[in-house]
Amino acid sequence: MLSPDLVILTAVAYVGLLFLLAYLSDARARRSDAGFLRSPFIYTLSISVYCTSWTFYGAVGTAARSGLEFMAIYMGPTLVFVGWWFVLRKLIRISHAQRITSVADLLSSRFGKSSHLAVLVTLIAVITITPYIALQLKAITTSIQAVSLAKSGGGLDDVQLALGVAIGMAGFTILFGTRNVDAREQHHGVVAAIAFEAVVKLLALIAVGIFVVFSLGGGPVAVFDRAMAAGLDIHEQAPFGSRWVTVLLLSACAVICLPRQFQITVVENSNEDHLRTASWAFPGYMLVMSLFIAPIALYGLATMPAGSNPDMFVLTLPMSAGHDWLALFAFIGGFSSATSMIIVASIALSIMVSNHIVVPIALRHSGNLEAAGERGIARLLLRARRISIAALLGLGFLYFLLAGDSNALAQIGLISFAGVAQLLPAMIAALYWREATLRGAFAGISAGFVVWAWTSFLPSFGTSAETVAALMREGPWSIRLLRPEALFGMEGLDPLVHSVFWSLFFNVTTLVFVSLTTSQGVMERIQAALFVDVFRRGAGAQPHLIHASVTTEELFFVAERVLGWTRAKAFFEEYDVPRSHGVESFVASPDFIAELERALASSIGSASAHILLSKVVAGDIITLEEVMRIAGETQQVIEYSHELEQTSQELRETAQKLREANALLHELHRQKDDFLSQVSHEVRTPMTSIRSFSEILLTENDLNAASRERFVSTIHRESVRLTRLLDEILDLNALEHGERSWDNVPVDAELVLDRAIAVCEALAQQKGMRIENGPRAARGVVSTDADRLSQVFINVIANAIAHNDAPSPRVRIESRIEGGNYVVDIADNGSGIPEEFRRTIFDKFVRAGRSAAGSAPTSGLGLGLNISYKIMEKMQGRLELVDMPRPGACFRLTLPLLRQPAEA
């Protein structure tokens, strides 16, 4: 048997170890060496603060009394964690974005940064959690008694023990839980201690379990057999029913809403991805933890003397087998689970109390911020937190003192769960229902809380207070319909099921009804959008909440009060905002003010931060309305941005078209330049010779007649060439701009071709060559202008004559009717068009190389074919260069025949 002194000494030594651990971790973290402290497994272990002494000792007791119900308490959280992707991830994302510091801050921030709602939630949390803290104190004292009972005969004073534990825990929490005011700065020391305690309690329970099941009981099957032999029912007494579902629901709510769970899971989370590990590791942790619960309970029931407390089987079973050290280890495990709950719960509650009750009151009632001095608000916060930790533990102790001996405490675990579950409807609405209003949330939570207090909390005193017992029997003023455990006559239900049903029923219906009948304020609408649409891309674009009618100096003054000079300076420098004197005219940007508000919120909560900034920033209301008018609801913003996207798509297309048009214009411009320079070049050559010959004629008086004659004829020839060139250019210009109109009349193209051949005959004879007539069509009536067509024929034939370099040059002309077209082929036997010119031969100023060599000055300007080509186009015909088996070039002219063959 263990002496009480040894047990207490062990507990004190253990707490000392926790102090050391927390101290070392804090020191490590401050050296920015917190690598392993931020690992997902430390995070997961710290979440197991969920398993308090109530689950450590009480699970065995529950298993002994009511079968498998204890499993529901772990399986609710399991369901929440395996579904992390939907609720917890969103909660953490929002809380990181909005710098949420507590569950009260979350609700207050979502519902328009309302400080009233924050106060309500804080009060509810304090009222529901304080008895829970008392329960931990009771567990510790009971376990110390149990471990040391046999020897001392129960000589220890419960009250003194509890007081000692409360003071010790307050000391630890104040020391490591209030090192800084920024709740977003994680309490590394505390988290490390909690994670360590999580390992200790798991190992302790497993050690006891293995010892009981395998060493004492001889294996799990043997344990069940022995229990059956002892006349116990190893199966569920009653079928699973509404109580099972209720416990499942409550535990699922609790793991989200309990202030300590919120603190650890959301606020202390340093990386959203850690949730990934916790999603399976935390359920796994609880699974391992509950493996041995039922066998321990059954073995205890079967072997321990009747009347022994099943809650303490974890301790008494090893002791009765003489394994005191194992019992001591189990005691440390239970002690761990109790202390970790007390520490985290009191930190979470103290943050809520100081941020949502103390600071707003201080801000409202002291108009004089100057008096606060540097970090005045921060100091106020720290002091408030330390005092509230002490006060909370004091309250817990007081509750323990008043109700410690009654059965009130034993039930408080689930009652407390049912209390915080009243926050869940509002939280779900906060995350997923855009239309939920502040009034709805406030009314819903209030209604649920009142019903909970009436149907659940009050009856927990029923056994210790006679007035309460009477109230429960008769109802208030003898109105039997309002009896706490049979509200509106609903009798025969399990009290917990009854209470949860009515409280959540009133909670949800009030929330929905009031939300639908009231409207949101501007700030609410903004915050609702930020919360509900946190995963939507671009939702990060915060509307500018506070208009910048404030100088940076005033802002710095405020920041300094909260953050301290060093951090305020760093913050301002990070955003490149000057803050010294003489830059009063520098107006802070709305973005910067929004950032500053969030930085302050991480210390003092969103509602307080908003109040604080609103105090120095004047006239933000109008701007707020303006913002809303412009942005409307997020829906509108999204539609707008969608429209914007479309518009910008159109703009892009238009720009693309413009670019193409521009490129075309550039190309045309370049062509025009080319054309001009070609023309100048072409004009310059004859002009030069005209000038030089006329100069000779003017200056040289003694020229003989022959020379004079030659010079004059050269001048004449060049002028003719020049004139022709200018004519052609004019012609081309007219063709291109469609200025020269002609009358298309039915014409027999054969006659035109004959005339053209006759004209070219002289030219051919000049060069000593023949024009051969191939097979000819009888007649081909087309709609055309005879002169123009003749021009084309002459041009092509003349080209064939002029450029023919064969020894016995010939030009062969054929015509035929083919597929409704009149076709003329004009071929020569020259060297043909070189390959590189075949493509461009119809362009302006293109001359196939052989004539460009400049044989005869009259040999073409490079415009003829271009003009012909354009004329043919105008007559719906074609001029093309065709391949032929013989050497030489062959031009083919095609014209559509006139539809009705004219009689003529």
Partner 1 sequence: MVGHGHGPGPVPGNGGKKLAEATLILPLLGAAFLMPAFLNLFTHRSRLFGLPLEVLYLFFVWFALVLAAFLVSRRLKSDAPSAAPERHAEHERPAGIG
CA distance 296 to 310: 10
Cβ nearer to partner 1, comparing 188 with 483: 188
Cβ nearer to partner 1, comparing 591 with 772: 591
Stretch that binds partner 1, among 348-356, 560-568, 685-693, 780-788 (CB under 8 A): 560-568
Any contact of residue 179 with partner 1 (CB under 8 A)? yes
Stretch that binds partner 1, among 166-174, 180-188, 775-783, 856-864 (CB under 8 A): 180-188
Q: How far is the CB of 820 from partner 1 (least distance, A)?
A: 58
Any contact of residue 98 with partner 1 (CB under 8 A)? no
CA distance 393 to 396: 5
CA distance 349 to 258: 10
Any contact of residue 75 with partner 1 (CB under 8 A)? yes
**3-class state of residue 392 by DSSP:** helix
Site string (535-554) toward partner 1, x via CB under 8 A: x-------------------
Stretch that binds partner 1, among 432-440, 563-571, 718-726, 875-883 (CB under 8 A): 563-571
Any contact of residue 85 with partner 1 (CB under 8 A)? yes
Applying CB under 8 A, which of residues 9, 13, 36, 83 lies at the interface with partner 1? 83
- H or E element: which one contains 625? helix 620-631
Applying CB under 8 A, which of residues 185, 474, 491, 873 lies at the interface with partner 1? 185
Applying CB under 8 A, which of residues 21, 291, 472, 846 lies at the interface with partner 1? 291
Applying CB under 8 A, which of residues 110, 113, 138, 184 lies at the interface with partner 1? 184
- How many chain residues bind partner 1 (CB under 8 A)? 60
Any contact of residue 902 with partner 1 (CB under 8 A)? no
Closest CA to 184 of 93, 98, 99, 274: 99
How, if at all, do strands 781-784 and 745-748 pair?
A: antiparallel
Asked if 201 and 52 touch (Cβ cutoff 8 Å), the reply is no
Any contact of residue 206 with partner 1 (CB under 8 A)? no
Any contact of residue 236 with partner 1 (CB under 8 A)? yes
CA distance 128 to 457: 9
Applying CB under 8 A, which of residues 56, 81, 331, 531 lies at the interface with partner 1? 81
Site for partner 1 in 243-262 (CB under 8 A): 244-245, 248
Closest CA to 436 of 511, 374, 547, 546: 511
Applying CB under 8 A, which of residues 495, 564, 830, 862 lies at the interface with partner 1? 564
Cα distances from 222 to residues 113, 280, 429, 608, in angstroms, run 59, 31, 50, 61
Applying CB under 8 A, which of residues 163, 378, 555, 617 lies at the interface with partner 1? 378
Sign of CA dihedral 775, 780, 783, 786: positive
**3-class state of residue 881 by DSSP:** strand
Closest CA to 605 of 119, 26, 47: 119
Applying CB under 8 A, which of residues 45, 60, 71, 264 lies at the interface with partner 1? 71
Any contact of residue 394 with partner 1 (CB under 8 A)? no
Q: How far is the CB of 110 from partner 1 (least distance, A)?
A: 19
Any contact of residue 412 with partner 1 (CB under 8 A)? no
CA distance 854 to 568: 87
**The 3-state secondary structure of 320-374, one letter per residue:** HCCCHHHHHHHHHHHHHHHHHHHHHHHHHHHHHHHHHHHHHHHHHHCCCCHHHCC
Any contact of residue 625 with partner 1 (CB under 8 A)? no
CA distance 400 to 134: 5
- What interhelical angle do 40-47 and 274-290 show, nearest 10? 50
Any contact of residue 90 with partner 1 (CB under 8 A)? no
Any contact of residue 283 with partner 1 (CB under 8 A)? yes
**DSSP label at 423?**
G
**3-class state of residue 891 by DSSP:** strand
Any contact of residue 79 with partner 1 (CB under 8 A)? yes
Stretch that binds partner 1, among 125-133, 270-278, 387-395, 646-654 (CB under 8 A): 270-278
Q: How far is the CB of 599 from partner 1 (least distance, A)?
A: 9
Site for partner 1 in 700-759 (CB under 8 A): none
Cβ nearer to partner 1, comparing 12 with 221: 221
Any contact of residue 594 with partner 1 (CB under 8 A)? no
Any contact of residue 271 with partner 1 (CB under 8 A)? yes
- What interhelical angle do 242-257 and 495-517 show, nearest 10? 60
Stretch that binds partner 1, among 50-58, 564-572, 781-789, 869-877 (CB under 8 A): 564-572
Any contact of residue 240 with partner 1 (CB under 8 A)? yes
Closest CA to 431 of 352, 513, 537, 530: 530
Asked if 426 and 107 touch (Cβ cutoff 8 Å), the reply is yes
Task: For 254, list phi and psi in degrees, rounded to 5.
Answer: -65, -40
Any contact of residue 84 with partner 1 (CB under 8 A)? yes
Asked if 769 and 809 touch (Cβ cutoff 8 Å), the reply is yes
Sign of CA dihedral 548, 552, 554, 556: positive
CB-based burial, 266-281: b 16+ in 10 Å, e otherwise? bbbbbeeebbeebbeb
Any contact of residue 375 with partner 1 (CB under 8 A)? yes
Neighbours of 206 (CB within 10 A): 15
Applying CB under 8 A, which of residues 48, 115, 263, 279 lies at the interface with partner 1? 279
Stretch that binds partner 1, among 109-117, 494-502, 562-570, 700-708 (CB under 8 A): 562-570
Closest CA to 286 of 70, 494, 521: 70
CA distance 344 to 352: 12
Q: How far is the CB of 86 from partner 1 (least distance, A)?
A: 6
Any contact of residue 401 with partner 1 (CB under 8 A)? no
Q: How far is the CB of 302 from partner 1 (least distance, A)?
A: 15
Q: How far is C-alpha 387 from the chain's CA centre? A: 40
Neighbours of 668 (CB within 10 A): 10
Any contact of residue 899 with partner 1 (CB under 8 A)? no
Any contact of residue 33 with partner 1 (CB under 8 A)? no
Neighbours of 781 (CB within 10 A): 19
Any contact of residue 224 with partner 1 (CB under 8 A)? yes
**3-class state of residue 236 by DSSP:** coil
Any contact of residue 180 with partner 1 (CB under 8 A)? yes
Stretch that binds partner 1, among 129-137, 232-240, 483-491, 547-555 (CB under 8 A): 232-240
Cα distances from 337 to residues 190, 283, 332, 389, in angstroms, run 14, 17, 9, 19
Any contact of residue 595 with partner 1 (CB under 8 A)? no
**DSSP label at 216?**
I
**3-class state of residue 782 by DSSP:** strand
Q: How far is the CB of 235 from partner 1 (least distance, A)?
A: 5
Stretch that binds partner 1, among 242-250, 340-348, 622-630, 750-758 (CB under 8 A): 242-250
Cβ nearer to partner 1, comparing 75 with 865: 75
Q: How far is the CB of 301 from partner 1 (least distance, A)?
A: 15
**Tokens 């793991």 belong to which residue?**
255
Any contact of residue 590 with partner 1 (CB under 8 A)? no
Cβ nearer to partner 1, comparing 570 with 712: 570
Q: How far is the CB of 415 from partner 1 (least distance, A)?
A: 22
Applying CB under 8 A, which of residues 39, 152, 277, 859 lies at the interface with partner 1? 277
Beta strands in 774-835 (DSSP E): 781-784, 810-818, 821-828
The binding site for partner 1 (CB under 8 A) comprises 30, 32, 34, 68, 71-72, 74-75, 78-86, 93, 96, 179-182, 184-185, 220-221, 224-225, 234-236, 239-242, 244-245, 248, 270-273, 276-277, 279-280, 283-284, 287, 291, 294, 375, 378, 535, 564, 566-567, 570-571
